[in-house]
A and B are shown apart, each in its own frame.
Chain A
Amino acid sequence: MDAIWGEFTDRDVRRVDGVQLTYYASYTCGNITTADLLKYGDGQCGAWAKFFIDMLKVQGIGITNEYVIFMPNPPSGIPQDYVGFVVKNWTFVGAGTSGHSTHPYLNIPDSLLVGATSYNWKFAEVTDAAGIPGQGNANPASLFNNHQVMINGEYYDPSYGLKHASLQAIDDDAIDGFYIGPVLHPVDEPAVNLDLNGDGDKTDLQVDTPVYLLQKNPAGLDIFEIKINY
């Protein structure tokens, strides 16, 4: 198992024809199976987790309940599908101006939030920066509802070629912050220097605007996991 894992840790995994396989070369990549990762060369975390497990299986190594999906614990009242996390590194500017008690940082998404290799914001107090490199990609996508890895005593995260000793270690080592969004939230136009309601000025106050509210990763365990048998 260590020998197979060793093929993932340098983040240079190649197909038999020499093509390097990548983790989110395109941020809009939707490939989540081993077959699609091999066919298209690019995959989400789910594709990489399954690929690693499939490589173990073909060597006769079978582990039960080894497939892990983890998600943030949502704040009270917020549905699971309106929360997520950002993977290191993201830059938080100042103390945040959203006015929200737990998620003080304000980002206003552009009409196309997820671009090919970037996140697009009209206004942002939290921005993506180079951080933990992924397979064949120095700065992969990093804003998710969940992440998927493999467990066998330790957590194996083939998307990044990294191991973690515990769920708490993943929380501490990989996650920079948590978001709520997109939700409508009152924003003052002068504070963001934008014409949010399209009336031709930037003077209106408390304009309901689609936003993402963010917080820095607090201490403690902020994620939960489920395990299934792949």
Chain B
Amino acid sequence: MFKSFGLLLVIAVIVGFCRMSSGQGIPSLKELERTATQEIRGANVPKADDAKKIALSAYAQKMKGEVLANEAPGSPSLQVLGIDVSGFGKKGDKVWEVRFSEMTPDGTRTLRAILWVHSDTSRVHYLIGPWQADKDKRE
């Protein structure tokens, strides 16, 4: 038992070291290039690229143009709603999740906003973003 625990500990340390030494949070170019492009056949918003542009327009409009010069949407990921969201979609609907991030002076990226784009209706649901911080300040 102690031998197994020791082995696990060694593996954990090695994995931890490898993660640190490979630049935490920065993906490899090969990983990015291998990312499969998702598509929903027959949907109104079938491709990730379509979802990205819808989200970008919606976000920029919501922010009244207050978008940083080093801010951009990431790759939309396909999600299935696990709950009903009033005015947006029902449990089981497919949505694109789009995350916006900003490049910081050290070159890493930090999260600023998350939006959902409904794959059938093109509706946008604003989960969290700078607009919320502004609202919180006012309240």
Query: Which residues of A come within 8 Å of B, CB atoms?
Result: 27-28, 30, 32-33, 44-46, 49-50, 67, 69, 71, 76-84, 100, 109, 111-115, 141, 144-148, 180-185, 197, 208-210, 213, 224, 226, 228-230
Per-position binary interface string of chain B over residues 54-95, scored 1 when its CB falls under 8 Å from any chain A CB and 0 otherwise: 001100110011111111111100000000000000000000
- CB atoms of A114 and B105 under 8 A apart: yes
Is the Cβ of A113 less than 8 Å from the Cβ of B107? yes
Top 7 A-B residue pairs of the complex, sorted by shortest distance between their CB atoms: A114-B105, A184-B28, A79-B75, A145-B72, A113-B107, A81-B72, A183-B29
- From B33, B57, B65, B101, A81 is in contact (CB under 8 Å) with B101
Residues of B within 8 A of A185 (CB): 28-29
Nearest CB in chain A: distance from B37 CB, A: 7
Question: Given A79-B32, A81-B74, A228-B61, does the pair A147, B69 have CB atoms closer than 8 Å?
Answer: yes
**In the assembled complex, how far is the CB of residue A68 from the closest CB belonging to chain B, in whole angstroms?**
9
Q: Is residue B118 contacting chain A, with contact meaning CB distance below 8 A? A: no
Asked if A46 contacts B56 (CB within 8 A), the reply is no
Question: Is A183 a contact of B67 with CB atoms below 8 Å?
Answer: no
**Distance, CA A93 to CA B14, complexed state (A):** 39
How many B residues touch the partner, as a band? 35 or more
Q: Given the complex of chains A and B, what is the CA–CA distance between A209 and B21 in angstroms?
A: 9
Count chain A CB atoms within 10 A of each CB in B21, B32, B100 and give the residue with the most: B32
A–B Cβ pairs within 8 angstroms, 6 of them: A32-B65, A109-B107, A113-B106, A182-B107, A226-B53, A226-B60
Contact B65 A82 (CB under 8 A): no
Binding site for A on B (CB under 8 A): 21-23, 26-29, 32-35, 37, 52-53, 56-57, 60-61, 64-75, 100-101, 103, 105-109
Given contacts A32-B65, A146-B71, A213-B29, 13 further A-B contacts (CB under 8 A): A32-B69, A45-B69, A50-B65, A69-B67, A80-B73, A81-B74, A112-B105, A113-B107, A145-B70, A145-B72, A182-B107, A184-B26, A197-B21
Q: Tell me whether B69 and A145 are in contact (CB under 8 A).
A: yes
